[in-house]
Amino acid sequence: MKNIIIALALVASTVTLAACSQTERGTAIGAASGAVIGGVVTGRAGGALVGAAVGGAAGYLIARSDRSGYCIYRDRHGRRYEARCR
């Protein structure tokens, strides 16, 4: 039963992240990974929270460095797109 719940959570997170930018995906993956690692290492919720914060910050920085010189803009319809920074 536990494996089914984990599999459903992974599928739901994959579908949710499909509409995100590269930076948002990197931040979310870093935060989730950090929370799991922090929770496993310390065995406490506080460790998971600290791990999520550190992992999210690291994921953000790594994802932002991948597209140097590109920025995210919104068009008049609210859609997001990446283009060279002005």
Distance in angstroms (rounded) separating the CA atoms of residues 27 and 7: 21
> Which phi and psi (to 5°) does residue 37 adopt?
-65, -45
pLDDT in tens, 29-59: 888 888 888 888 988 888 888 888 998 888 8
Distance in angstroms (rounded) separating the CA atoms of residues 62 and 74: 23
* Structure confidence at residue 72 (pLDDT): 78
| Tokens linked to 30 | 């870093």
For the chain, the domains span 21-84
Residue 6: pLDDT band by 50, 70, 90 thresholds? Answer: low
> Which phi and psi (to 5°) does residue 70 adopt?
-110, 145
* Structure confidence at residue 11 (pLDDT): 58
pLDDT in tens, 15-24: 566 667 777 8
pTM: 0.58
Residue 7: pLDDT band by 50, 70, 90 thresholds? Answer: low
The answer to whether the beta carbons of residues 26 and 59 sit under 8 Å apart is: yes
